Structure 1
Amino acid sequence: MFNVIVNTAKGTKVGEFQCIHPTCQIGKDNTQLIQLRGFKVSKHHATLHQDDSGIFVTDNQSRTGLKVNDLKELKFGPLSLTDKIQIGDYVIKVQSSDPVNNVNSKLSTAAQINQDIEHYSDTEETDSFSPSESSTLISQEVLQNIQIKNEWRRKVHSELLKLMDLRRVNVNEMSDDELRTQSGSLIEQIVAGMDIPANIDITSLTKEVLDETVGLGPLEALIADPDVTEIMVNSHDQIFYEKAGKLYLSDIAFSDDQAVLGAIERIVTPIGRRIDESSPMVDARLKDGSRVNAVIPPLALKGPCITIRKFMQKRLNCNDLVSFGSMNNAMAVFLEMAVTQKRNIVISGGTGSGKTTLLNVLSSFIPDNERIVTVEDAAELQLYQPNLVSLEARPPNQEGKGAVEIRDLVKNCLRMRPDRVVIGECRGGEALDMLQAMNTGHDGSLTTAHSNSPRDCISRLEVMVMMAGMDLPVLAIREQITSAVNIIVQQSRFSDGSRRVTSICEVTGLEGSVVQLSEIFKFQQTGFNAEGKVEGFYTATGTVPEFYEQLQKRGVKIKLDIFDTGKDQ
């Protein structure tokens, strides 16, 4: 017995068919079990056949043939979950319902994933992808044990829900600790009354069911691991995580798609967010501030997926970034002076480059006697100044009303008597309001923007200002940027997973129609070492920023030797 999943080439799901016999026919004729339409499909196009070694597909001398993984084949097998059969304008995948063959299919899937990872590692300059030891070679026995354990986990979880419903347990009125305690007690009762195989660890099974019921299921262990920086759930049975800048395939899994949906609900509900078919994407956060993004079907074709970017529990400072190699001492001294002397700073960088982390560090330099207002889409910043107000945007409700955009919050925060405005990230029209705030008495404001270089950051700010809907000439926008932004800090993530401040530039003015940038510090990459790690050095360019001259006239103590050219000051 096996299942056949049929989609169009564009990804639209056609249907899922269950073949209860060893042979399944595919074609245009109405006698075929799986009937497909289209002039590229023959009457008796192909046959799926299952035997002890797996599931095979055979072309029945059709007019247009069939492809497996983009290669034309007459016969191919055994098929795994990752193999794509192409017939006309349709893409077909098969999955065995038989436990043994299903384990073989999962084994093929894991092997294929690790082959892809190893191939990627061989073709790149560094080993930015590296499979975990547990996923490099997974025995059939281990996979079978995992599947058996997952089956028992589903049974225990199902019994727990029935028992809680029978006892009319009102979980909404219980605290997290009370719910965990009562659920743990009920799970122990259920497990004690079941004939669970001796090779399954009862303690581990109980913990996994409890985590799946009141926590985030199998993700709890990854979240608790301080070395894991990012967790990616592609489907209920495929979870990747990042550790030390490298990706690993985890050997843990959710029991099914419903368990993943339950974990997403437990994340988004406490913070007033929602996710359903009408709103299938959501940004949220965990209790520790870690950023969460979730997407569910129909947008996510493989099932609900979650991406968690963890934040370090320790409060980082500039010394930590220097010890990590993200910058040198001279850059740290300069950035501290720029923040305390109320320079407007934009942190530029790509996705996952560490912009928010750097923004947190720079915000710690703001004196305690100043009033700060932060504006974010999903609250991530962790500031500790006493006079602090944090604002968070709100998505629309089920009727599509009640949304509060970041731009609305930026406008409102200017009426809250802030000394400084800190915007988690500028993505659109709020950039115009941010520039106006920087230009009208809110010096020392901070924000981040997605761009690949300081010069790109200027262009990106121009585009975001245009998104505000104001018909402003480009020259007027550039004048606004020039007068508002003082410093651009470029943060980059390298192929080995390291994150570094690669450039610090001062915006010096407008010459003609071109914004002038003066680079003060930069990271000079020299190559890679034997382990594939990026090698290089930080250096000053010898340029002294213009505002340092003003500070010197005012009698502020400054260090000019940090601008001397040289390696790793």
Structure 2
Amino acid sequence: MRGKETPELDADTFSRRMEAMAAKARRNRSEPEESAGFDAVEDVAQSTLPKTQAQDGHLDEFDDNWTRPIGMFEINGFGKVDPQIVRRVLSRLMELIEPDKAIALSHEELSEQIVDLTTEILEELKIRLNFEEQRQLIRMLVDEMVGLGPLEPLLADETVTDIMVNGPERVFVEREGKCVAANVRFRDEAQLMTVAQRIVSRIGRRIDESTPLVDARLADGSRVNIIAPPLAIDGTSISIRKFSRNRITIDQMTEQENLSPEMAVILKVAARTRLNIVISGGTGSGKTTMLNALSCLIDPSERIVTIEDTAELQLDQPNLVRLETRPSNIEGSGEFSQRDLFKNALRMRPDRIVLGEVRGAEAIDMLQAMNTGHDGSLCTLHANGAREALTRLENMVAMSGMRLPGNAVRGQISSAINLIIQVARLRDGKRRVTQISEVIGMEGDVVTLQNLFEYVASGEDRNGRLIGEFRFSGLRPRFYERAKYFGLQRRLDEVLEGAEAN
């Protein structure tokens, strides 16, 4: 739950309270003013992960028994307070503030109460902490009572894109495309389960032994998957896919070298000319980011209906309807699948339908909609390439139970899909558009494709970063006449001429 960020305490107010408490303590005791520090929380990676790693992230030599070392992600300010102190203060604080009442308070009100009560508890327990340790302790207590505990610093860090909790003692993050261990951990399985329950309760769901698998989302739109024992053997597992608060545009992708300027213009023209586009790639390759970027190019006057398993698209067009699936309840009823929502969406007079991810039987409904006037629709699916994406679509149509001949299904695919964008997270951690392919029709029983652009790697630099280029095939897009209808052929001509010259 992240309705809003845990507020920074007012520095002047905090300092005055700390100084008053210290002065009072000095009057009541004869001990010196300096306080003893505490050791940082032990990093889990020290005992479970290799201790060294090459700076370029890969090994110079290979043998039969090598393992790839994993780096460490340090959280500034984390681990300054002894865990035993946190437990003692929290236990006493829970006696003074009932959790149910604490949830009803705002972050500011709760922070004020925790500041007052913590200073009293520290004095009562005769615990001495310096200014920074007390400040850190209060933030940890606020996170514990109304936030997501140890996950809060990771959620607040904009450089972290994925958070992976493998039980209470192992937390990993993805940062700059690399998976590293984080120096945070939960006290025990009970604390981890409390955080999991807090996440799912905000969307009206539950997580326990009878319902050990839940998909959810945080208030900021981050996607969450939770799987608990007995399915998760080593403790509750939480996977959080964070989304940037600032939506990434096609132009920003160009600046980050995720694609070339020529490819960016091709995608802009494709979105504005209402082509049916499929974005394919693996897990964490950037499919949703690309879908968001393309969706932002849709004309504000068009009515958009989005369908997702877990709402994560970030659109701000005024005529927008967002639909989300619902799982069955304990009795096994009340489920609404993507296919149910898709059928209903067709009755909502949509100009465009945006399907978060095609996973099963809804593929046939999507193809039929694209073939019956709902052009400009967008979707994502998991596939390793454009050709594999077409094969997956054909297989998912078969999952609908409709006994259609293979050539009939491929005929629908070839007439419905215009463009396939392949995205990938390459081994240097950078996400790139590796292929833009156009569906041009059928030859016999085979759907034919032509590649417009592809990324070709030629090596790597000293830092392990791939060296490559985005190559233009030299083929004129089949949607050129469509671009002329929308008045975009001049811009397309400029780009094609420039790409041919390069």
TM-score normalised over the length of structure 1? 0.74
1:459 aligns with 2:391: yes
1:220 aligns with 2:156: no
Q: Which one of the candidate residues 119, 131, 149 is aligned to 2:71?
A: 131
Structure 2 unaligned segments of length 5 or more: list them: 1-38
Q: Secondary structure at the match of 1:170?
A: helix
* Bigger shift: residues 170-179 or 506-515: 170-179
Q: Which residue of 1 aligns with 2:93?
A: 160
Q: 1:380 is aligned with what amino acid?
A: E
Distance 1:461 1:296, change over 3 A: same
Distance 1:197 1:363, change over 3 A: same
Backbone CA RMSD of aligned residues = 3.0
Q: Secondary structure at the match of 2:265?
A: helix
Tell me by how many angstroms 1:117 deviates.
Answer: 6.7
Check conservation: 1:394, 1:403, Cα contact below 8 A: yes
Q: Which residue of 1 aligns with 2:180?
A: 248
Distance 1:133 1:549 in 2: 51
Q: Which residue of 2 aligns with 1:299?
A: 231
Matches within 5 A, 1:61-100: none
Tell me by how many angstroms 1:445 deviates.
Answer: 0.2
Q: Secondary structure at the match of 1:209?
A: helix
Q: Which residue of 1 aligns with 2:161?
A: 229
Q: Secondary structure at the match of 1:282?
A: strand
Tell me by how many angstroms 1:114 deviates.
Answer: 2.3
Check conservation: 1:541, 1:564, Cα contact below 8 A: no
Distance 1:172 1:334 in 2: 50
Q: 2:464 is aligned with what amino acid?
A: G
Matches within 5 A, 1:383-422: 383-422=315-354
Tell me by how many angstroms 1:180 deviates.
Answer: 4.9
Query: Between Structure 1 and Structure 2, which shows a larger proportion of strand residues?
Result: 1
Q: Which residue of 1 aligns with 2:26?
A: none
Per-residue Cα deviation, 1:125-155 (whole angstroms, up to 9, x for no partner): 9x996412769xxxxxxxxx96981222222
* Bigger shift: residues 302-311 or 150-159: 150-159
Per-residue Cα deviation, 1:3-57 (whole angstroms, up to 9, x for no partner): xxxxxxxxxxxxxxxxxxxxxxxxxxxxxxxxxxxxxxxxxxxxxxxxxxxxxxx
Q: Give 1 or 2 for the bigger CA radius of gyration.
A: 1
Tell me by how many angstroms 1:161 deviates.
Answer: 2.5
1:538 aligns with 2:478: no
Q: Which one of the candidate residues 277, 302, 311 is aligned to 1:345?
A: 277
Check conservation: 1:153, 1:255, Cα contact below 8 A: no
Distance 1:107 1:379, change over 3 A: closer
Distance 1:508 1:497 in 2: 33
1:492 aligns with 2:492: no
Distance 1:305 1:177, change over 3 A: farther
Q: Which one of the candidate residues 82, 100, 110 is aligned to 1:149?
A: 82
Distance 1:568 1:147, change over 3 A: farther
1:191 aligns with 2:127: no
Tell me by how many angstroms 1:420 deviates.
Answer: 0.3
Q: Which one of the candidate residues 36, 46, 52 is aligned to 1:110?
A: 46
Distance 1:555 1:233, change over 3 A: closer
* Bigger shift: residues 514-523 or 547-556: 547-556
Q: Secondary structure at the match of 1:312?
A: coil
Distance 1:484 1:123, change over 3 A: farther
Tell me by how many angstroms 1:428 deviates.
Answer: 0.9
Check conservation: 1:180, 1:214, Cα contact below 8 A: no
Q: Which residue of 2 aligns with 1:279?
A: 211
Distance 1:161 1:344, change over 3 A: same
Tell me by how many angstroms 1:419 deviates.
Answer: 0.4
Matches within 5 A, 1:174-189: 174-175=105-106, 177-189=108-120
Distance 1:189 1:398 in 2: 45
Tell me by how many angstroms 1:237 deviates.
Answer: 1.8
Per-residue Cα deviation, 1:420-473 (whole angstroms, up to 9, x for no partner): 000111111111111111111110000000000000000111111111122222
Q: Which residue of 2 aligns with 1:122?
A: 59
Distance 1:195 1:118, change over 3 A: farther
Identity percentage over the alignment? 45
Q: 1:162 is aligned with what amino acid?
A: E
Distance 1:115 1:567 in 2: 49
* Bigger shift: residues 544-553 or 276-285: 544-553
Check conservation: 1:376, 1:406, Cα contact below 8 A: yes
1:423 aligns with 2:342: no
> Between Structure 1 and Structure 2, how many residues are aligned?
455
Distance 2:156 2:256 in 1: 22
Q: Secondary structure at the match of 1:539?
A: strand
Q: Which residue of 2 aligns with 1:434?
A: 366
Q: Which one of the candidate residues 489, 492, 495 is aligned to 1:562?
A: 495
Q: 2:96 is aligned with what amino acid?
A: L
Matches within 5 A, 1:352-367: 352-367=284-299
Tell me by how many angstroms 1:108 deviates.
Answer: 8.9
Q: Which residue of 2 aligns with 1:335?
A: 267
Tell me by how many angstroms 1:175 deviates.
Answer: 4.6
Per-residue Cα deviation, 1:155-191 (whole angstroms, up to 9, x for no partner): 22222323234xx953564455545544554444433
Tell me by how many angstroms 1:565 deviates.
Answer: 7.8
Tell me by how many angstroms 1:417 deviates.
Answer: 0.4
Q: 2:121 is aligned with what amino acid?
A: I
Q: Which residue of 2 aligns with 1:477?
A: 409
Distance 1:124 1:384, change over 3 A: farther
Q: 2:426 is aligned with what amino acid?
A: F
Q: Which residue of 2 aligns with 1:83?
A: none
Tell me by how many angstroms 1:380 deviates.
Answer: 0.3
Q: Secondary structure at the match of 1:421?
A: strand
Q: Secondary structure at the match of 1:398?
A: coil
* Bigger shift: residues 235-244 or 317-326: 235-244
Distance 1:108 1:270 in 2: 30
* Bigger shift: residues 234-243 or 150-159: 150-159
Tell me by how many angstroms 1:553 deviates.
Answer: 6.7
Distance 2:113 2:44 in 1: 40
Q: 1:465 is aligned with what amino acid?
A: V
Q: Which residue of 2 aligns with 1:376?
A: 308
1:257 aligns with 2:212: no
Structure 1 unaligned segments of length 5 or more: list them: 1-102, 136-144
